[in-house]
Amino acid sequence: MRALSVELGARSYPIYIGPDLLSAHELFKPHICGRQVLVVTNDTVAPLYLDRLLATLQPWQTHTKILPDGESFKTIETWSSILDALIGVPCARDTTLIALGGGVIGDISGFAAACYQRGIGYIQAPTTLLAQVDSSVGGKTAVNHVLGKNIIGAFYQPSAVIADTRTLETLDDRELRAGIAEVIKYGLICDYEFFAWLEENMPALVGRDSDALTYAIERSCQNKSEVVGADERELGRRAILNLGHTFGHAIETSVGYGEWLHGEAVAAGMVMAAAMSQRLGELTDADCERIERLIGRAGLPTRPPVGLDDDTFLQRMAVDKKVRGGRIRLVLLRAIGDAYINDDYPDTVLEQTLRQARSGP
């Protein structure tokens, strides 16, 4: 087992990474304050792992809420159904909520925990690669709106992240590749050595080599922990974690939630961010090509979907949470491993980037 920590003073918490951790009673026990627990999961994960977790939680009075699976259910209505479950028990203020699932479950459960009785404790138990390397860490909780992804939510840190790598064995190939997109992101924004390691080890990751996956999860979590520890509420540098996301969220919102997986949209968005960085004279042609090549080798899309026109793309980007003073703030690259935030670029460069992405090389 590997153990890391997100250092946030009184809100600091551990990240545990390793096999069979859903059965590790000793990891859950310090982070469950009262006698009541609500496990929130979905109808895909529940048949696989719910019984295992419930066996671990036998000393507590445990309740479950099983949601439908998919990004299309990351809504106010689904979030409200979690609150209905908490109120219906009824759950006291010292109840602990456990999010067992991927990014959707983690985000929506964390948001429910943030709101119920003005905040109860919750544990992230991520079961997808994307959730284990990214969404379970950092305290961003939210639901989607028809006009914008993750537009309604709160910063609310978990009390622990317990990532059982054995759960990746039942993850389908498409979901695995979507998680690899977020892994690549860390190399691009702040860790050149990790990017180079990914270039050498991409076949092992795609092939589900357990050592490679564990290393990639640990290194990704370490990078995210350092960024979040320095800027918890995204007032500055934390925004670099959104490389490719402004483009990617526009794709997800435009085509319909769940049509493209989050990691797929981010992958295409990172290629677009690299292309715009190159067009601005920051990123070299060679680095731009390396980025697109690695994303392609991961089996991820390098172009947005056909049929997305520039006006729609710009309208969706304008709803992004990173817009300030009417300007779309983009995370761009000076080099591989060196990201920065830019809202002072010619509009024509963004328009040219969108046009190039839709038309291909």
Catalytic residues: 118, 140, 182, 224, 234, 238, 242, 245, 249, 262
Give the DSSP H/E element, type plus range, for residue 245.
helix 245-255
Q: Give CA 249 to chain center in angstroms.
A: 12
Reduced to 3 states (helix: H, G, I; strand: E, B; else coil), residue 153 is strand
Q: In whole angstroms, what is the distance from residue 270 CA to residue 184 CA?
A: 9
- Record the tokens describing residue 273, joined without a space: 């961010």
Give me the sheet containing 121-126, strands edge to edge: 2-6, 13-18, 160-164, 121-126, 96-101, 36-42, 61-67
The secondary structure of 6-46 as a DSSP string is E--GGG-EEEEEETTGGG-HHHHGGG--SSEEEEEEETTTI
**Per-residue b or e along 243-255, where b marks 16 or more CB atoms closer than 10 Å to that residue's CB:** bbbbbbbbbbbbe
* CB-side neighbour CA atoms (13 Å) of 307: 3
Identify the residue whose tokens are 């990214």.
134
Q: Please name the residues in contact with 127: beta carbons below 8 A apart, sequence gap of 6 or more.
A: 45, 48, 49, 100, 101, 102, 164, 167, 168, 171
Q: In whole angstroms, what is the distance from residue 209 CA to residue 200 CA?
A: 13
